[in-house]
Structure 1
């Protein structure tokens, strides 16, 4: 028997060797010609770590070089640079870390009084807040946490914890659980709707402040904040001016003035400052024992005034007490494989891993994550595409090509001097043919005139004269807001996060539930909701305002009194006399107001009424989420145990369930700008606890000036007020929209069509839209214009073309 097995083994080895030999004779595989590069190195390092061996790995093997993350969003550059689509995921991660840091900093300083201790966030508030960060950001955020430093968390949810006493460590973290193997998941496909909730300050690996923790770089970036760092307080801890106008009854404010409150928060550096940013980034690391994924974290500090509740007030100081940590899976992060240069500055570990030929230039693409092919190769100036190639060479095609295909393809053809081709005189054609040619021009004068009228009307309305316009004149057509769903998706998900949190809290928290030593959370109070609205605005420079608006008689606070209306709304306050220049969105002044104080209630506003009509009587379509909370078994955190209610469930909307408004001018004396609103509902238990019902909406407002205009040709059914208004010469060029140009004409480029080539050697390969718009204006005004020259010419032959200048130069000696 042993000889038979040995013989079979020898036969198998022989057959395998024959296959290898035959494969070698047949030719190389499609990837054999590609050399080993930095992408392969990082890929091998990632594949060498898994859930079974990560515990035994040293810290160096659980991290990747910081250079593997390039072009990270930085707070001091957000107002002066364009964030391209391949970095919007990281930008949203940046903003959400800042959002949570501002909220906890605000609420702890606002309620830093002994009588307000019971109204501070409870245990489930921390858990549900982290869960909402993850559930509302399916494609961006895979984990969220608030991690406290040693003896900095004052827990109000334990009966046997004396007042003014801290827990040693506390860290509430949520991460998305891969539920493909759950007993209730019959299809065995991940649903992305199951969340693990855990206290990182308890269990076998609870001391995340030590070096032996291996993956606690998020802690070392900000903590601990000792007295030795006091000299840096002026640049690491900034003050923020916040004013709130409360309302104690419908249609009336408590005071005519804003109640001022100054809080300390994360840094707010200027554009010229390069250090002390409010959000810093960890190296990519393996989340061993938890999600078991390679993740990247954005980290921002939380500030409080410590020690708390001390009679000697002068001994208290503002310090970093915790960090807000937001995680994204490293495989979801795009990288730039192009060579270093403008727009791709070092360090970049993956630079020059693209395989563009010498006659082409590399352009990165978005949405590819950590895999090859996320680029395209465009012709360099002085080159054109071959006749059979329509547009740039795609990186995914290059990466999957054989050596023969690569060597004989993906090249651009040199542009050669050629004789100008005479264009024959046009013949008289029928009206039908003429109409057909006019349609192919892809420019519509009627739509252009409408666009100019819209822009002119928009610019004619301002905060000083808006009250003189009629209500319908303060609105723009809905097709002006074309593209908001895509461009402002991150801002919409900021509102969605708060809607998920409110839905979770209102469906799972009961005022009368107690769990022995563990107190249940109290109902939401007005300060918590004002803080959430303020955090949405303070954490994202593109959000002008944000609010939470309860339906009539739906808000009940910890005092068990029902308010008819409650609508805390926060906005960025451009304080011109103190905060710098007009329109400085990175200022430190913010205001909040309760909409219940207005005489005209908000129930009839379109952004509220339209959402309520959809969800008031029918909640079909909401997504069901599952939470698995683990809490500490005792105050010392010796182990973890399941929460008394395990698992928890809640239903919440998705991003598509929200409603985008048409652009309108907010002329209420506060925002005073053209804005676009996104409203999304939240839900809670009804009065008898038998079902969930519509409770209100969360709204975010974005300035219309942040929206990009797309003037390129589109199908007739596309609702875009600016389509077919680009000034490209469509006979030889085609239009492509450019991101980051905002609400200005000319946000496009005109690239040469197949069979045509760019005529200039000026380091470009297209005509810029703003140049086209300006040159056309000159042409219409009778000024000197080069509009007619900004077009592509017919491509020359691929063989050597005759140069008449060279012929003349050769004949000159004969004539002399």
Structure 2
């Protein structure tokens, strides 16, 4: 074929394929951009007449022609189900740790005639050997043969109007365009200011007027009151009250960008500088959206901060507290006295958080076998893990949806017109490659596996390719078929995550999303024009991000990783033998580094976990006897214990 460029794009319009005729993002047009009339040069994406093909010019054609040392080399060790081994070396795109990286970005462009909106594309190259299948290695060389393009809506990209600073050092044409009054306010270019402000007000007893754990992902706002704070709202808005009095002080604000508002003005907050405070009637930082809408008179009279008159300075003399006061403090924070370093720290009501973290990090491959019952952490230790690893979980959902679409749309037994032949069933090499590509794409993913249920894969009773790596940013990977395992406790069909998803999706599939496809294919191998697919339109059902399953953090002692990980499993589905109803075929599993220096992941306990329970839990019948023993032991040797368990805490 002279050109081949399958392209799929989302159509969010009122389409007649839906019974309710409502706007939905679950309709896709699929076509081959390589099928066009040879006289229409404006449709040739390799030609200069194609106005929006900058994504093609970024990588193609490959300028470094006929050279063998220009492409990154990777190595993968493969172990099949029959315990045979193979080492395969191939050329690929640049690694994630390289400076330029494997992805390039295009300039924003208007996609005229197709989506009719401003787009920006991320482009990554595909490396192959050319010429292929010659068996003469001295004439074959690696080269860029294709490019994968991901186009995104440019209007949904946030702009940062805050002045240049750390994290906002440019190039940024919109830098410094915020209307915050710079004398008493400042613009912070990084961080999540809403959570910071909520934590600050909670700590100092101020009114809680807002709180949001993920505003940077949302654009819709709700209003809430000061008397009923709801920090767990997915979307919220700061309640701001304007006053008409003219403040005597100068301005004292900082500009804080608010994420998720898209390509428009006002995506920031004006926050008071240190040494200044908001007026009493103002419930939070001034929203940039309101500042931008204010006229000259409203802008001059409002959006100011007042001097707080407070001065912070270090104490001149340190004096040890009275023994009675020190005993009262120790009674309130008994978890810091007589601290135990045993695994029981994970199961106490109020453990010492520092000792607990030291125990978690102290579990090593050499001692993990002696602590089998303590290798699984509680759920509240993985607070917001779904948000921290959301992008990695979406990669599992993407592959799960790809396999669901292939199993439900493709039919290897159908007969097509002309010279076209039906697609072959999905092969083992395809699953190996798709699974292996996941761990290559993200350094936070340490292992990925595609686990098929019994007799669901063609000509195989069990099939479970699992790819993993043993160090971050490596060029050497390993992949093996876990169907070779014979022990019952090691087999994947008996794992908790597999049985949970299988029970959940055994009978009812109404919760799955329905995606419609309008596919157009080329008329012949030369591709002079496009024609509709035999099933036009067609559809398939697949899971979304919420249909997956998160496990509790655990230490992978018996596996390949030998570290603390958290697992996300996504299901995918295919037709039964008579193609009447869907059935659970398999699940795709990701192992993400939970406590690892290389992945830079954080361990953040929940805001309302059992580690932060009140004093009434300390006086419960379960803990009363042990608490009295701790107090008696503390009274006997107060000076030694103060030196051992943090003397500076009670000064």
Matches of 1:405 and 1:660, distance apart in 2: 49
Shift of 1:384: 2.4
Q: Is the 8 A contact 1:482 1:721 kept in 2?
A: no
Shift of 1:239: 0.6
In the alignment, does 2:275 pair up with 1:382?
A: yes
Equivalent residue for 1:671? 561
Matches of 1:215 and 1:685, distance apart in 2: 40
In the alignment, does 2:157 pair up with 1:360?
A: no
Equivalent residue for 1:414? 307
Shift of 1:523: 0.8
In the alignment, does 2:602 pair up with 1:708?
A: yes
Matches of 1:454 and 1:411, distance apart in 2: 45
Equivalent residue for 2:468? 571
Gaps of 5+ in 1: 1-166, 249-253, 421-433, 440-444, 575-584, 715-719, 726-776, 789-816
Cα distance per residue 1:46-91 (max 9 Å; x no partner):
xxxxxxxxxxxxxxxxxxxxxxxxxxxxxxxxxxxxxxxxxxxxxx
In the alignment, does 2:573 pair up with 1:683?
A: yes
Q: Is the 8 A contact 2:380 2:605 kept in 1?
A: no
Equivalent residue for 2:31? 198
Shift of 1:392: 2.1
**CA RMSD for the aligned pairs?**
2.7
Aligned residues: 514
Equivalent residue for 2:376? 475
- After TM superposition, the structure 1 = structure 2 runs for residues 795-810 of structure 1, keeping only pairs within 5 Å, are none
Equivalent residue for 2:438? 536
Distance change in 2, residues 1:724/1:571 (3 Å): farther
Matches of 1:620 and 1:341, distance apart in 2: 50
In the alignment, does 2:236 pair up with 1:339?
A: no
Shift of 1:478: 1.6
Cα distance per residue 1:66-119 (max 9 Å; x no partner):
xxxxxxxxxxxxxxxxxxxxxxxxxxxxxxxxxxxxxxxxxxxxxxxxxxxxxx
Shift of 1:629: 0.8
Matches of 1:385 and 1:379, distance apart in 2: 7
Equivalent residue for 1:397? 290
Tell me, what secondary structure is at the counterpart of 1:527?
A: helix
Q: 2:79 aligns with which of 235, 241, 245?
A: 245
Distance change in 2, residues 1:389/1:499 (3 Å): same
Matches of 2:262 and 2:297, distance apart in 1: 28
Shift of 1:179: 3.1
In the alignment, does 2:94 pair up with 1:267?
A: yes
Distance change in 2, residues 1:645/1:312 (3 Å): same
In the alignment, does 2:98 pair up with 1:208?
A: no
In the alignment, does 2:489 pair up with 1:625?
A: no
In the alignment, does 2:641 pair up with 1:781?
A: no
Matches of 1:406 and 1:779, distance apart in 2: 57
Q: Is the 8 A contact 1:710 1:723 kept in 2?
A: no
Matches of 1:291 and 1:460, distance apart in 2: 54
Structure with the largest fraction of helix = 1
- After TM superposition, the structure 1 = structure 2 runs for residues 752-771 of structure 1, keeping only pairs within 5 Å, are none
Shift of 1:636: 2.1
Equivalent residue for 1:491? 392
Q: 2:401 aligns with which of 500, 518, 540?
A: 500
Tell me, what secondary structure is at the counterpart of 2:171?
A: coil
In the alignment, does 2:506 pair up with 1:616?
A: yes
Please report the TM-score for the alignment, with normalisation by the length of structure 2.
0.74
Cα distance per residue 1:695-733 (max 9 Å; x no partner):
01011111112543446854xxxxx466679xxxxxxxx
Shift of 1:522: 0.8
Q: 1:590 aligns with which of 477, 480, 483?
A: 477
Cα distance per residue 1:19-71 (max 9 Å; x no partner):
xxxxxxxxxxxxxxxxxxxxxxxxxxxxxxxxxxxxxxxxxxxxxxxxxxxxx
Equivalent residue for 1:602? 492
Equivalent residue for 1:174? 8
Matches of 1:387 and 1:567, distance apart in 2: 62
Q: Is the 8 A contact 2:381 2:606 kept in 1?
A: no
Matches of 2:606 and 2:558, distance apart in 1: 35
More deviation, 455-464/409-418? 409-418
- After TM superposition, the structure 1 = structure 2 runs for residues 78-117 of structure 1, keeping only pairs within 5 Å, are none
Q: 1:524 aligns with which of 426, 451, 476?
A: 426
Matches of 2:18 and 2:507, distance apart in 1: 29
Gaps of 5+ in 2: 187-254, 314-327, 334-338, 340-347, 615-641
Q: Is the 8 A contact 1:710 1:722 kept in 2?
A: no
Equivalent residue for 1:56? none
